[in-house]
Chain A
């Protein structure tokens, strides 16, 4: 009976009418991620101190800061690995990240790329992407799994995005370091994340690979929202985007790279004047 009553609310859009991706995600205000007044301390050391950060949907945001500024801890909080002592973290207007477990957060559409690339070296690039595909992952569904046309399209699309179309049938172990990083980003993309957290993707890359990675990340912005943590200033400048400087667990400055670089406080922190 309750079901029938529910259906009588004609002004309501029913759940099954909602688009399939992240049904509860509400970004009607244009912001995808809200971190407000977040503080975390480890044994009295304040790793994050009243951090406020807002990320727009489709943005590519670079986070820089000296060692110990709290960049990785911030990522840990977003992905649910670390619980803050106080503050709030919302994904869209309706998803409270602090109430969710790590897999739930991943399911809701937040993907994270770790510093060290871990791909399945003894399988092809294609199989690596296939395995990372979003969808049912039970034993019998995987045993009987067949590719649908849209799944193949998706894999092809991602192969194009990460520029590994030629290497489709190559074993992932045969890829160069940079290509492995791209493959790992591709594996993340296969899960259709709304928000991508990318941790130092260009460490150990050649200059050409860095340029390629920059292009890749820029092209992802728009369709996805990207938060990039990076040490390499040249790389961040080449992306020419919104930059947030973290220092001692809170935001020191925000703006374009040029604005940030001319900021007195930033210069002081970085040059120790």
Chain B
């Protein structure tokens, strides 16, 4: 009983309430007549669905960075792999409606004069198989990578650098036409998902709601982990790794579990992202994406989970706005945000809110008090 109170503390309940409200309101407002001032266009709704996917990705990063202290600069790789798995399914759904009308081969393979489907494209005509791969491929990569890295006790900056190298290597690999993932054009021109037209309004609504549900459930799953004893072990590892090992915990296994879980969540986020934006290409693997993603979490505030969501939505809204209004300013803004947050807001935007309402943070009914983060800026 106390456990459920632990998972659904005040901030979590508040977060879920807001999420449910937004998830329900936006599709409803979408049905209004377009002359109505409260009308939300399908374009805006899809944009918000995209933000929800980013928010889920940010929660995944916060799980490993905020609670476990692993600064992964390659999390976009897991996101992109989940996206590619979904993209492969959507490509197979096109069937013979492609430009070249081949019943089996996607357009780019016909263009490259390929005679048959590569073996790893088999099965992707089935949604359940694609769904399995969305979870399995990022999870397996994280498992192998993590098993090697954590067992050799690679930590801190060195680990960040190899995660960056991982996503860069995948970027280069996916750029190659011979890889069989459409080279630099990636996968696009999707038509259907589960037999429903991707351009149809109802499908857009369904995808938007699915993103919100995925974010909500993943958030609860993350809360379950961080409020469990395992979550406290993770924070112990973050703060004093060798001491935790000395007490008798298998640090490698704890890290591996949380890292894999985080990668799976990132993969799911990518899979929901692709049908909403309609394309997946190797630029999703770009190291810059992973770094931007870390900025979202840093800006929102680490080790809160909801901070990551706020950061992801805020930065992406700013990005959408600025890249349209003042495109040349965006990268400077991004850089400035990171520098300013690191210097002045080590706990992110959520840190200011917590500081302003001390009564909130010392809530005595909380069984597990909020973990305090080190004050010394960004800890790798």
List A residues at the B interface (Cβ < 8 Å): 103, 106-107, 118, 120-124, 127, 130-132, 137-139, 142-146, 169, 171, 173, 187, 191
Within the complex, what minimum Cβ distance (angstroms) separates B255 from chain A?
10
Chain B's closest residue to A174 (CB) is: B372
- Asked whether A132 lies within 8 Å of B247 as measured between CB atoms, the reply is yes
List B residues at the A interface (Cβ < 8 Å): 3, 225, 228-230, 232-233, 235-236, 238-240, 243-244, 247-250, 253-254, 256-257, 368-369, 371-374
- Asked whether B233 lies within 8 Å of A142 as measured between CB atoms, the reply is yes
Contact of A120 among B235, B254, B256 (CB under 8 A): B235
A-B contact pairs, 18 of them (CB 8 A): A107-B248, A120-B243, A122-B371, A122-B372, A123-B236, A127-B232, A130-B229, A131-B236, A131-B249, A137-B247, A137-B249, A137-B250, A138-B253, A139-B254, A142-B229, A145-B230, A146-B3, A171-B372
- Asked whether B228 lies within 8 Å of A143 as measured between CB atoms, the reply is yes
With A and B bound together, what is the CA distance between A122 and B374 in angstroms?
8
Chain A's closest residue to B234 (CB) is: A142
With A and B bound together, what is the CA distance between A144 and B253 in angstroms?
15
Within the complex, what minimum Cβ distance (angstroms) separates B307 from chain A?
16
Q: Which chain B residues lie closer than 8 Å to A173 at the CB level?
A: 372
- Asked whether B236 lies within 8 Å of A139 as measured between CB atoms, the reply is no
With A and B bound together, what is the CA distance between A169 and B362 in angstroms?
11
Q: Which chain A residues lie closer than 8 Å to B369 at the CB level?
A: 124, 169, 171
With A and B bound together, what is the CA distance between A173 and B225 in angstroms?
23
Q: Which chain B residues lie closer than 8 Å to A187 at the CB level?
A: 247
Beyond A131-B229, A145-B230: 12 further Cβ-contacts under 8 Å?
A106-B248, A120-B235, A121-B239, A122-B373, A122-B374, A139-B253, A142-B233, A142-B249, A143-B230, A145-B228, A169-B369, A191-B248
Contact of A122 among B235, B249, B254 (CB under 8 A): B235
Instruction: List the 5 shortest-distance A-B pairs measured between CB atoms, nearest first.
Output: A145-B229, A143-B230, A142-B230, A142-B229, A139-B257
With A and B bound together, what is the CA distance between A124 and B232 in angstroms?
10
- Asked whether A138 lies within 8 Å of B248 as measured between CB atoms, the reply is no
Within the complex, what minimum Cβ distance (angstroms) separates B330 from chain A?
35
With A and B bound together, what is the CA distance between A163 and B359 in angstroms?
27
Q: Known contacts being A123-B371, A138-B253, is A144 close to B228, with CB within 8 Å?
A: yes
Q: Known contacts being A124-B369, A139-B253, A171-B372, is A118 close to B243, with CB within 8 Å?
A: yes
Q: Which chain B residues lie closer than 8 Å to A120 at the CB level?
A: 235-236, 239-240, 243-244
Chain B's closest residue to A184 (CB) is: B243
- Asked whether A123 lies within 8 Å of B257 as measured between CB atoms, the reply is no
With A and B bound together, what is the CA distance between A132 and B225 in angstroms?
19
Q: Known contacts being A123-B232, A124-B369, is A103 close to B253, with CB within 8 Å?
A: no
Within the complex, what minimum Cβ distance (angstroms) separates A168 from chain B?
11
With A and B bound together, what is the CA distance between A130 and B225 in angstroms?
16
- Asked whether A139 lies within 8 Å of B232 as measured between CB atoms, the reply is no
Within the complex, what minimum Cβ distance (angstroms) separates B70 from chain A?
16
Q: Which chain B residues lie closer than 8 Å to A132 at the CB level?
A: 247
Q: Known contacts being A120-B236, A127-B232, A143-B229, is A103 close to B372, with CB within 8 Å?
A: no
